[in-house]
Amino acid sequence: MEMTAALAALTALANDTRLAIFRMLVQQGPDGLPAGEIGADLKVAAATLSFHLKELERAGLVHARRAGRQIFYAADFAQMRGLLTFLTEDCCGGHPDICGPLPASTQAAADCCPPAAKSSRKTKKETA
């Protein structure tokens, strides 16, 4: 994932309504939910919901699929992983062991969609 796609994804998630929508869909799994149910659950007006769903879709974080009169929205897990990978990429200039032993680590079972940074070693000059 490149910078601009990551920025689009982060911009999409940087809104309380959209973040709530996205998490609801992440927790729901690949089948997703119809727009109407999301709106009812989060109590957002239909027009507003539509606006936010479109933003999430534009960012590639969700995709839509019509089923009868309803439109189901589902999280795009590949895109989510791409974003998480982007954020941790090239951590610590290719020496991730440096930041690994930090506290507050929530290292539990890596059970879902683990982003796993693929380091590509881009050592920055030590300017301290």
Q: Contact positions toward DNA, by CB under 7 A?
A: 11, 15, 17-18, 34-37, 39, 44-55, 64, 66, 68-71
Residue 2 binding result from DNA, a copy of itself, none, given CB thresholds of 5 to 8 Å by partner type = none
In our burial notation (b when 16+ CB lie closer than 10 A, e otherwise), range 59-98 reads: bbbbeeeeeeeebbbbbbeebbbbbbbbeeebeeeeeeee
Residue 65 binding result from DNA, a copy of itself, none, given CB thresholds of 5 to 8 Å by partner type = none
Residue number, 44 or 117, with CB nearest to DNA: 44
CB of 57 to a copy of itself, least distance (A): 17
CB of 31 to a copy of itself, least distance (A): 5
Distances (CA, A) of 95 to 6, 106, 116: 23, 20, 15
Partner residues linked to 34 by β-bridges: 72
Kindly state the tokens that stand for 19: 């973040």
Within residues 8-47, the interface with a copy of itself by CB under 8 A covers 10-11, 13-16, 19-20, 22-24, 26-34, 37
The burial of 57, by beta-carbon neighbours within 10 Å (0-12 exposed, 13-18 middle, 19 or more buried), is given as middle
Q: Is residue 3 a contact point for a copy of itself (CB under 8 A)?
A: yes
Q: Is residue 105 a contact point for a copy of itself (CB under 8 A)?
A: yes
